[in-house]
């Protein structure tokens, strides 16, 4: 079995990874930075995958991403997700309708659908009103 390690890290890279490991916002980034640091210390991919409780191919992918893209390779890329049902104009119109009838969520829902043609559940409507 091949023993693959990352190229020796510079002092700057070690500091960057240590900072990401200790203070990174996302758990995934902290875990990936930890994997790179463990590899630099001489741990094999199998050992790292056992320590971090992840699959071997994930660790291998992280090492490749580190070597090709550095820290940027360890950060998750933005994902598209679902497009929002309501745009800024819709949010403004909802606020206007609430000002007219603040305690009538069902009538608000019906009027909004009548005006815009967009159907909203009461949960979506409440969530939209809480945002603003």
> Per-residue pLDDT tens for 48-66?
999 999 999 999 999 999 9
Bin 106: left if φ > 0, else alpha if -120 < ψ < 50, else beta: alpha
pLDDT at 131 over 70: yes
What confidence score (pLDDT) does residue 80 get?
Answer: 85
CB within 8 Å of 125: residues ≥ 6 apart: 94, 105, 108, 109, 112
The pTM of this model reads: 0.64
What confidence score (pLDDT) does residue 30 get?
Answer: 97
What confidence score (pLDDT) does residue 105 get?
Answer: 85
What confidence score (pLDDT) does residue 9 get?
Answer: 92
What confidence score (pLDDT) does residue 3 get?
Answer: 62
> Per-residue pLDDT tens for 19-44?
999 999 999 999 999 999 999 999 99
- Who has greater pLDDT, 5 or 4? 5
What confidence score (pLDDT) does residue 2 get?
Answer: 54
**In sequence order, what DSSP letters do the residues of 52-98 get, joined into one string?**
HT--HHHHHHHHHHHHHHGGGGGSPPP---PPPS--HHHHHHHHHHH
> Per-residue pLDDT tens for 85-129?
889 999 998 888 888 887 888 888 898 899 989 998 989 888 888
- Alpha-carbon distance of 45 to 65, in angstroms, equals 14
For the chain, which residues make up each domain, given as ranges? 11-74, 88-131
What the block records as the tokens of 44 is: 């094999």
Distances (CA, A) of 125 to 96, 104, 105, 120, 128: 14, 12, 8, 6, 5
**Structure-token match 């190229």, residue found:** 7
Tell me which residue of 28, 25, 49, 53 sits closest to 38, measured CA to CA. 49
- Alpha-carbon distance of 109 to 97, in angstroms, equals 9
């Amino acid at each position: 079995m091949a023993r693959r390690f990352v190229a020796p890290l510079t002092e700057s890279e070690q500091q960057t990874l240590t900072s990401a490991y200790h203070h990174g916002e996302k758990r995934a980034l902290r875990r990936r930075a930890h994997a790179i640091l463990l590899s630099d210390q001489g741990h094999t991919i199998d050992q790292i995958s056992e320590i971090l409780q992840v699959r071997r191919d994930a660790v291998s992918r992280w090492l490749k991403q580190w070597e090709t893209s550095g820290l940027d390779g360890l950060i998750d890329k933005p994902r598209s997700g679902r497009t929002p049902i309501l745009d800024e104009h819709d949010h403004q119109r909802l606020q206007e309708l609430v000002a007219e009838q603040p305690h009538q969520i069902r009538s608000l829902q019906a009027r909004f659908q009548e005006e815009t043609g967009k159907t909203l559940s009461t949960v979506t409507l409440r969530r939209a009103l809480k945002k603003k």
